[in-house]
Each structure stands twice: as structure tokens, then as C-alpha cells.
Amino acid sequence: MNRARAPILKLEDTLIASVQEALMDADLVGLRDELVADVKRYRAHAVIIDVTVLDVLDSFAARTIRNIAQMTRLIGARTIIVGIQPDVAFAMVQLGLTLDGMETALDLEDGLALIGLRPGKACRA
Amino acid sequence: MTYKETVVPEPPLAGDEIRQRKAFLEFRDDDVARLRSINELAQRYADAVIEDFYRHLMSFEDTRAFFTDPAVLAHVRSMQKAYFMRLTQGEYDENYVANRVRIGAIHERVGLPVKSYFGMYCFYLRSVLKRLHGEYKDNPEQAVAVFDSLMKLTFFDVGLAIDTYIESRERTIQGQQEAIRELSTPVLLLRPSLLLLPIIGLIDSLRARQLTEQLLRSVRSNRAKVVVIDVTGVPSVDTKVANHLVQAVEAARLMGAASIITGIAPEIAQTMVKLGIDLMRITTVGDLQSGIEEAERLLGYRVVKLDGGGRQNPPEGT
């Protein structure tokens, strides 16, 4: 079900979960299961979850994302969440959802840079 | 900001408000009649009362300072006499109120202290009481009744005048608060990916919110990776302020920017520990300079001093 809402792209040994629209709780759980399975299957070293389009992240979403990070670390991949918008970040800290211990980056580009996967210079010109 | 110079016209008091004030003072039609009945008496004594009044004012340093110019003195004396007469003319309508409010505003503008205002009214009442006492020797009840009415009216007037003082102060405070808000939250781009947020003055919830929102917007628009938050100018930190700071730092982190807090004064550090505020998860360094050095290190900058740097004047032709 979540395939359309949050397709998982593979780029070398990185998996990119690109959230396309608001996720229901079931979608989040589906995404979690699928990511963990894919990390194992592709022997991925990093997972990037791009939430640029989300204008709200509630406590269930925050917990699920943290769970993904903890689970993938156990099987050898770090997880980075990218694209949290200013309003979303502000609302999250007010609710105490600070994603402690998780890696964050401004957007996909910075997230890729963080794991040493720089898009080619030619593409960026 | 020229907030002080913006002249806001005094809002006219509504008829309802005037009625309520009079009702509270129990100022009624019979009071009006009694005051009117001594108009002739007032006319007779006006000059003497005014004379006493200014002799009194001029014998005190505080009030004398306002009447150094003889032309001004002559003018206010004639105004004062008009007011004195008006007290017994029986017209205490909206015009009368507007006049009192205007006079109060003038006194406020020239800086006449409230204590002098009260003192002057007290002197007025006492000098009238003395005359009433002399005039109504045979009818002391009437003297008391007239004085009672006059006292109600003067308290009505004092209330109006003091309100203008308070309103003016409130306007000043409001203007200053707006000015402070406008000045309060600059976010500066120091190097690519490095933002500086100097916080000066007290942080309340509203300001903390604005500050955090502006910081987050700047993080996004400048693609910042490191934010240096300098709190040298924050005079005191309590649990609430510390929470606001932590929230700003954590929100920035959610957007991928690391924060460094600099400039926590020793006394503030002591207070924070005593209050049990835990900033262990936040990077803090002593002063702004170390903060910027730490930020540069995180971003991979290295500042190198050039040979011959540090001269007062650069050489000609460069």
C-alpha cells in the first residue's frame, strides 16, 4: 500500500525512502517493515527518509521513524531523516518529539553529502 | 524609532463612561445646583484664591521650575482663573470633560509630577474651604454641603487628569515594546552555512517563538549547518528561558543544523545548575570567539593569518 505514498529508491548502498504524501499510521508501519527487509536484502549501509512534503509529524510518526533508525542500526545501516520543514520542526519540539540520537539533514542533497555520496559536480552546475 | 513623537489624539470619553464616573462619586443634580449657587462667591474671591495659589506654587523648587517665564506664568494664571470659575458654572458635560483631559495631557507633557498635581488640588480645596467657612458662618450645614459637592467635582477632575498620565505612560511602554520586538531577532550569515544569532535582552515566550521561527527560516534559506547562539546579552535565565533555548536548538537540529551556545555568564551558569537545568546535550562554549572557532572547525574552515596582516592601513595600491 505504501509503495505509491513512499517509494524506496536504491542508490548504490543507500536506500532512499521518498515520502510523497501524508502517511497513515498503517503506511508508516508498512514503510518500517519494508525498509528493514530491504536493508537486509540489499546489504545497504545507509537509509535516508525524505519528509519534505509532510506538513505534520505526530508522535506516532516520530516514534516509528526512531524505531526504523534503531532497527536498521542493528543490521548495519545508519538512518538520516531529511527535509523537516521549519514549521514542522517547531511543532515537534513543542510536543517534545526531538528524534534524539537520530541524524538529520536539511534536505536530500545534504543527507547524501553526509554519507559521502555527493552528486557529480556536472549535475550541480 | 520615533514612537515618542507620534501624537495620538486623546480618545474622547464616551457619555456612558462619564455618567458612570459621576454615579460612583455620587455627583448628582443637587450638587450641580449647589456649585452654581456659589458662582457669585467664587467670582468675588477668584483673584485672591489664584494669588494664594501661585504664591504657594512659587515657594517650592519643584513647581517653581515650571513657571520661570513670566509670559507663561501670566497665561497659566488666566487659564487657572477660567478653570476656577468653571468649577461653579454648572456645566459638567462632555465639553468640560474634554477640557479637563486636554489640560491633564498638557501637564503630563511638560512633566508636572503627579504629587504636585495632587498637592495643587489639595491647596485649592483648602483655600475654598476657608472662604466658605467665613462666608457661611451662620449656616455651617450649607458650607459643608457646598464643600461636599465641590470635593466630588474636584475628585472627578483629578481622576480624569491622572488617567491621562497613565494612558500616556502606557502608550510609551507599548511603543517601546514594539521597538524592542522589531530590533530583537537578527539572524546573521557569518560564512556559508554558518549563522550567528545574537540574543540581547529578556526572552519571553512570544519572543522565543519569533526567534525560533526566524532561526528555522534562516537555516532553510541559507542552508546552514551550524548556528552559533550568543547569549552574552541575556541578563537572566530561568527554567522557561532555558527551555526556549533548548527548543530552538532541537528544532534547528531536526533541520540538520548543529547549534553552539556561547556567552553564558558565570552567574547564569550557577543559576542554571542550581535550578537543575540540563544543557548537557547542547554544545556550549565560553565566549563568542571560541564559538565561532568551534563552528569553523565543524565546517572544516581554517583561519590563517597572512604575513603582514593586522596592519592599521593596508598598503597603497592593493
Residue B24 · residue B198 · CB < 8 Å? no
Nearest alpha-carbon partner for B198 in B213, B215, B220, B175: B215
What is the CATH number for B39? 1.10.490.10
> How many Cβ atoms from other residues are within 10 Å of residue B226's Cβ?
25
Residue B74 lies in a domain: yes
ipTM of the complex: 0.83
CA-angle at A90, arms to A15 and B236, nearest 5°:
130
Whether residues A86 and B255 touch (CB distance < 8 A) is answered with yes
Q: pLDDT confidence of A80, banded at 50, 70, 90?
A: very high
Identify whether residues B257 and B291 lie together within a single domain: yes
Phi first, then psi: give them for residue B233, nearest 5 degrees.
-90, 10
**Residue type present at position B69:** D
Number of Cα atoms under 13 Å in the Cβ half of residue B221: 9
Please report the pLDDT score of residue B6 as a whole number.
45
Identify whether residues B54 and B197 lie together within a single domain: no
Please report the pLDDT score of residue B256 as a whole number.
93
* Mutation to test the B interface, candidates A87, A93, A94, A95, most B Cβ within 10 Å: A93
Residue B229 lies in a domain: yes
Q: A79 to chain B: which residues are within 8 Å by CB?
A: none
Please report the pLDDT score of residue B64 as a whole number.
84
Please report the pLDDT score of residue B70 as a whole number.
85
Identify whether residues B139 and B118 lie together within a single domain: yes
Nearest alpha-carbon partner for A107 in A88, A83, A87: A83
Whether residues B251 and A104 touch (CB distance < 8 A) is answered with no
Identify whether residues B150 and B34 lie together within a single domain: yes
**Residue type present at position A59:** S
Residue B304 lies in a domain: no
Identify whether residues B57 and B153 lie together within a single domain: yes
Residue A91, C-beta contacts closer than 8 angstroms, at least 6 positions apart = A56, A57
Identify whether residues B69 and B197 lie together within a single domain: no
Cell numbers for B160: 480624569
What is the CATH number for A22? 3.30.750.24
Nearest alpha-carbon partner for B38 in B129, B106, B102: B129
Q: How far apart are CA A110 and CA A113, in angstroms?
A: 5
Residues of chain B where predicted confidence (pLDDT) is lower than 50: 1-8, 317-318
Cα B242 to its chain centre, rounded Å, is 28
Please report the pLDDT score of residue B198 as a whole number.
92
Residue A8, C-beta contacts closer than 8 angstroms, at least 6 positions apart = A15, A16, A17, A18, A31, A34, A35, A38
Q: Is A122 exposed, middle or buried (0-12, 13-18, 19+ CB in 10 A)?
A: exposed
Domain count, chain A: 1
Nearest alpha-carbon partner for A2 in A19, A20, A27, A21: A27
**Mean pLDDT of all residues in A9-30:** 90
**In this complex, is the C-beta atom of B193 within 8 Å of any C-beta atom belonging to chain A?**
no
Please report the pLDDT score of residue B5 as a whole number.
43
Residue B216, C-beta contacts closer than 8 angstroms, at least 6 positions apart = A86, A87, A89, A90, B251, B252, B255
Please report the pLDDT score of residue B3 as a whole number.
43
Q: B253 to chain A: which residues are within 8 Å by CB?
A: 98, 104
Whether residues B254 and A105 touch (CB distance < 8 A) is answered with no
Identify whether residues B251 and B177 lie together within a single domain: no
Cell numbers for B265: 555568564
Cα B72 to its chain centre, rounded Å, is 28
Residue B3 lies in a domain: no
Q: pLDDT confidence of A82, banded at 50, 70, 90?
A: very high
Residue-wise pLDDT for B272-316, tens only, equals 888 887 777 788 998 999 999 999 999 998 888 887 666 565 555
Q: Which domain holds residue A73?
A: 3-124
- pLDDT at residue A9 greater than cutoff 60: yes
Q: How far apart are CA A31 and CA B224, in angstroms?
A: 30
Residue B132 · residue B143 · CB < 8 Å? yes
Cα-Cα-Cα-Cα torsion B42, B48, B54, B60, nearest 10 degrees, comes to: -110
Least confident of A56-65, A79-88, B196-205, B294-303: B196-205
Find residue A114's DSSP bridge partners.
Answer: none
Identify whether residues B150 and B31 lie together within a single domain: yes
Domain count, chain B: 2
Identify whether residues B177 and B193 lie together within a single domain: no
Name which of A86, A92, A98 is nearest B213 (Cβ-Cβ): A86
Please report the pLDDT score of residue B311 as a whole number.
59
Please give the radius of gyration of chain B, using alpha carbons only, rounded to the nearest integer.
Answer: 32
**In this complex, is the C-beta atom of A68 within 8 Å of any C-beta atom belonging to chain B?**
no
Identify whether residues B26 and B167 lie together within a single domain: yes
Residue B159 lies in a domain: yes
**In this complex, is the C-beta atom of B242 within 8 Å of any C-beta atom belonging to chain A?**
no
Q: How far apart are CA B237 and CA B222, in angstroms?
A: 29
Residue B244 lies in a domain: yes
What is the CATH number for B275? 3.30.750.24
Q: Which domain holds residue B246?
A: 188-298
Whether residues B216 and A82 touch (CB distance < 8 A) is answered with no
User: How distant, in Å, are the alpha carbons of A110, B247, B283, B291 from that of B279?
Assistant: 27, 11, 8, 16
Please report the pLDDT score of residue A122 as a whole number.
39
Cell numbers for B199: 540574543
Whether residues A90 and B216 touch (CB distance < 8 A) is answered with yes
The model's pTM: 0.59
